[in-house]
Structure 1
Amino acid sequence: MEKTTLNYLWINGEKISTSETIDVINPATGEVIDQVPNGCEKETKLAINAAYEAFKPWKKLTPGKREAYLVKWADNLLENRDELAAILTEEQGKPISESRGEIEGCATFIRWYAEEGKRVYGEVITGSSENQRISVIKQPVGVCGLITPWNFPGAMVARKTAPALAAGCTVVVKPASETPRIAIAIFEQLMKTGIPAGVANLVTGKASVIGETLLEDRRVKKISFTGSTEIGKQLMKRAADQVKRISLELGGNAPAIVFPDANLDLAAEKIVDNKFENCGQMCNGINVIYAHEEIKEKLTEKIVNLVKELKVGSGSVPGSDPGTDPIQIGPLVNEAALKNVEELLQDAKEKGATVETGGERTGDSTGYFFQPTVLSDVTLDMKLTQDEIFGPVAPILSFQREQEVVEFTEKSPYGLAAYFFTRDVNRVYRMAEELDSGMIGVNGTSLSVPQAPFGGIKESGIGREGGFYGLEEFLELKYISLTLENEEGGY
């Protein structure tokens, strides 16, 4: 396949270039694979102008007409799945099989919201007097700034853009600088639907400049951000200046708790699937495994055996077959991420943790590869139990009592996801209601589906993506009170 060059912005339906550019690095080789525009305040303002002008005609379209553009967009993504997956793997590093799955997930979310946009219902409320009629309608918020992360750079563009467009909003998307090419390519497939100019715009460049421009402009009515808690807090403070609507999906510290009555084979399989997906770079990925002391040794053995079978390497090597590629673990996104994993691991070893498998860099010295790692003898004073690891390291702790492990998890400031394994239906309800997380997985670790609300509590964010809840994030309520005249013209 010929190399795809993706070095332009999408503003008002047109490809725009800039004199300044940003290098895009392949994390499997450390090499520059492309350069994208370094869009600044000027380009962001142009995108906001376009979105603002397009908003009124777009919101007046019937939901069915907006649906047609979204369905065609989903179709285009699936028709070009392999090419898009190759772009995604090359700049992000995940195995090609995961990239193909992510593109398919994009289409699934887009189609779901294409349908859900037709179900934005209002309400009629009984009046307080005989001649009062009360109704509540829902209307699109307006121009939205959507800031997406590098770990799922395709899926997050779709998961934010689809509900916004379905609700009748227009958007300016700012993708992560590490992974801008897949966003550009996905937008190209959206433009091919013939969607009206200005409805969807994309600006690549420095987050600080583009984000500040989106925050300062009063025509931008909402910001949706997925990324670090630190940046999310800064955005929240700045959004307060205009009381601008904001939704945040931030960091996590997800526990996986395994009780002695659990199916240990199932627990080990699901934990490994989750923990090592995308090289451990998932916001809702398992951070700490809590194993009951009765089954800790057995569970650790099962997890270690599964992890030893994982194959590490580049998912974008020449000739790799998307259908048969055996690679399951790609590189971390950059050198900083690799060093962070090493520092957390070193702290744990100095405090007594035992490396059961892995524990070192691997692969080409120019790539950012790290062996999938399992640690035992882990204690709560180690940094990796409180900090988000965001890498392929699975620490295992033990516990004795149900309430004890709940108290362990409550110490975290995060509350995105939590998982536990048990066959006791009474414990299922107790734990699900007690754990301080926005999402709970019971005997399974897969949470991202279009019909369910994805998001956290505490310092893991506010707002939800997915389900009709995700559509509500882009809608405003308007209350209308009508006073009727009587037959004599009075009230």
Structure 2
Amino acid sequence: MKIGHFIGGEWISAAAGRGIPVENPASGEIFAEVPAGGRAEAERALDAASAAAKAWARTPAVARAAYLQEVAGLLRERVDSFAETIMSEQGKPLTQARGEVMGTALHLDYHAQWARRIEGDTLASENSGEHILILRVPYGVVVGLIPWNYPLSLTARKVAPALIAGNTIVVKPHEVTPLSALRLAALFEEVGLPRGVLNVVTGTGTELGEALVGSKKTNLVTLTGSVRAGREVMRRAADNIIQVSLELGGKAPLIVCEDADLDYAAERAVFARFRNCGQVCTSNERTYVQEAVFQPFMEKFLARVQSLGIGDPRSDPDVGPKVSRVEVEKVEAMVARAVEQGARVLTGGGRMSGGPFDRGHWFQPTVLTNLHPSMDIVRQEVFGPVASVISFTDFDDALQQANDSDYGLSAYLFTHDYRKVMRAVNELEFGEVYVNRVGPEAVNAYHTGYRLSGIGGDDGRYGFETYMRKKTVYLSSN
């Protein structure tokens, strides 16, 4: 594969001593290196995007869409190759890695459909011989900051709507997982995307990311990442009053009522918690179970957690490795703190060891109980394979505990009581509410969060509108 900064249609290698190693999280092996870009590379990429912006905006949207559709077709043809890249740099199990590739193709195809649906408004004027038009126009140069948990699909989630809306874009993938975005750029190069429309630069957030966000050449920043990163982006973007869209993670509650199908709820709760090793912003971070069914639910839930297959992503287990040593250490510290505060470990609780688990970054699927709402593990995002299970008395208690969070992205409810469903729809203070199902979210819906989960959002009509601004035009015959 091609490795380097992709700027203005050219591949640029790392300067001497300016490389970032890429590690396989399952084995700890360093298998690639990408350039460590800084301010110079940021400015070069932004210059390339700026130079291409006017011509790309004038290109008919249906012509822009054709590039996305071609790339989507290539992804489906090469699903195994791209899944291999995701497994190697991120550690996602085979089926989940293939799912990410196919989801990426879906994002490209879906957003291509918006080419014929970029619409404005015509307003009646007070003046004779005049029309008032409100147009939707591109911002210009977009900066997309990508996290490490879905390195391919989240790149496409930002690139696809940005390009269809008529913007050019500079993508900075996370330094831990840079290869998927580079491979996607190579596909766009293959189908003949004009130079400078898509640029990918690699480097750290503190150096490269700050330079991209802080530049006057940037018109819109879209980030999926941590609250810390979101705050830094907002601070830096404020210098030039740059528009931002921030998706910053969550602390999703999953409520199981006494009338729920416990087998189904337990199976879905495990899937939502341990998919991608718990490294999903919509993960079931807090499982609330009604007291009347707490014990039978826990028996089913615990048995399913203990039966999860763990191993090399290529053997297609249920759970693969954590993405990095730093992430393992973070989760380990959070579990230790929870135990110190009084939590009880029912299964797991620490790193895995022995045989292949002596290499790479492995943490046991863990279940904690005996928890209190004030504990750190209940309030802070874990982003790892740790399930916190808490009881509730009645539905008022469930709603109160669920809403008692600084986050507000996703929430889940399992019940067959229509009255509880309607109360949850009205009273759960989250951007997404799932009833008797879990994620992933639909590409044509709207992925948005409240409070620390961010501002703005992705997907669907409302996500697409993120990438366009409005221009009012007064057309007078006088």
CA–CA distance in structure 1, aligned partners of residues 402 and 342 of structure 2: 21
CA–CA distance in structure 2, aligned partners of residues 139 and 233 of structure 1: 27
CA–CA distance in structure 2, aligned partners of residues 222 and 38 of structure 1: 23
SS in 1 for 2:134: strand
- Native 8 Å contact 2:5 2:35 kept in 1: yes
Q: 1:371, CA displacement in angstroms?
A: 1.3
Q: Which amino acid aligns with 1:401?
A: D
Please state if 1:377 is matched with 2:367.
no
- Native 8 Å contact 1:6 1:34 kept in 2: no
After TM superposition, the structure 1 stretch with the greater mean CA deviation from structure 2, 400-409 or 116-125, is 400-409
Q: Which amino acid aligns with 1:353?
A: A
Q: CA RMSD in A?
A: 1.3
Q: Which amino acid aligns with 1:422?
A: T
* Aligned ranges 1:48-447 → 2 under 5 Å: 48-316=46-314, 325-363=315-353, 364-447=357-440
CA–CA distance in structure 2, aligned partners of residues 259 and 106 of structure 1: 35
SS in 1 for 2:131: strand
SS in 2 for 1:294: helix
CA–CA distance in structure 2, aligned partners of residues 36 and 416 of structure 1: 33
Residues 216/361 of structure 1: CA separation in 2 closer, same or farther (3 Å cut): closer
Q: 1:129, CA displacement in angstroms?
A: 3.6
Residues 142/326 of structure 1: CA separation in 2 closer, same or farther (3 Å cut): closer
Task: Name the residue aligned to 2:465.
Answer: 472
- Native 8 Å contact 1:117 1:163 kept in 2: no
- Native 8 Å contact 1:6 1:36 kept in 2: no
TM-score computed with the length of structure 1 as normaliser: 0.94
CA–CA distance in structure 2, aligned partners of residues 38 and 342 of structure 1: 29
- Native 8 Å contact 1:276 1:392 kept in 2: yes
CA deviation profile, 1:57-86 (whole Å, cap 9, x unmatched): 111111110111110011111111101110
CA–CA distance in structure 1, aligned partners of residues 327 and 84 of structure 2: 22
Number of residue-to-residue matches in the alignment: 473
SS in 2 for 1:274: helix
CA–CA distance in structure 1, aligned partners of residues 426 and 317 of structure 2: 38
- Native 8 Å contact 1:138 1:478 kept in 2: yes
Residues 326/209 of structure 1: CA separation in 2 closer, same or farther (3 Å cut): closer
CA deviation profile, 1:152-199 (whole Å, cap 9, x unmatched): 111110100000001000000000000001111111111111010110
- Native 8 Å contact 1:441 1:447 kept in 2: no
Residues 26/286 of structure 1: CA separation in 2 closer, same or farther (3 Å cut): same
Q: 1:131, CA displacement in angstroms?
A: 3.5
- Native 8 Å contact 2:149 2:279 kept in 1: yes
Q: Which amino acid aligns with 1:406?
A: L
CA–CA distance in structure 1, aligned partners of residues 442 and 428 of structure 2: 21
Structure 2: which 5+ residue stretches go unaligned? Answer: none
CA–CA distance in structure 1, aligned partners of residues 452 and 385 of structure 2: 23
After TM superposition, the structure 1 stretch with the greater mean CA deviation from structure 2, 378-387 or 51-60, is 378-387
SS in 1 for 2:470: strand
- Native 8 Å contact 2:222 2:245 kept in 1: yes
TM-score computed with the length of structure 2 as normaliser: 0.96
Q: Which amino acid aligns with 1:446?
A: G
CA–CA distance in structure 2, aligned partners of residues 203 and 396 of structure 1: 41
CA–CA distance in structure 2, aligned partners of residues 274 and 190 of structure 1: 33
- Native 8 Å contact 1:344 1:384 kept in 2: yes
Residues 437/386 of structure 1: CA separation in 2 closer, same or farther (3 Å cut): same
Q: 1:401, CA displacement in angstroms?
A: 2.0
Percent identity between matched residues is: 38
CA–CA distance in structure 1, aligned partners of residues 50 and 358 of structure 2: 48
SS in 1 for 2:144: strand
CA–CA distance in structure 1, aligned partners of residues 239 and 396 of structure 2: 42
- Native 8 Å contact 1:6 1:181 kept in 2: no
CA–CA distance in structure 1, aligned partners of residues 276 and 211 of structure 2: 32
CA deviation profile, 1:298-336 (whole Å, cap 9, x unmatched): 1111111111111111114xxxxxxxx441111111112
Q: Runs of 4 or more off by more than 3 Å in structure 1?
A: 129-132
Structure 1: which 5+ residue stretches go unaligned? Answer: 317-324, 486-491
Task: Name the residue aligned to 1:320.
Answer: none
CA deviation profile, 1:417-462 (whole Å, cap 9, x unmatched): 1111111112111112211111111111114221011121111101
Q: 1:6, CA displacement in angstroms?
A: 4.5
Q: Which amino acid aligns with 2:306?
A: K
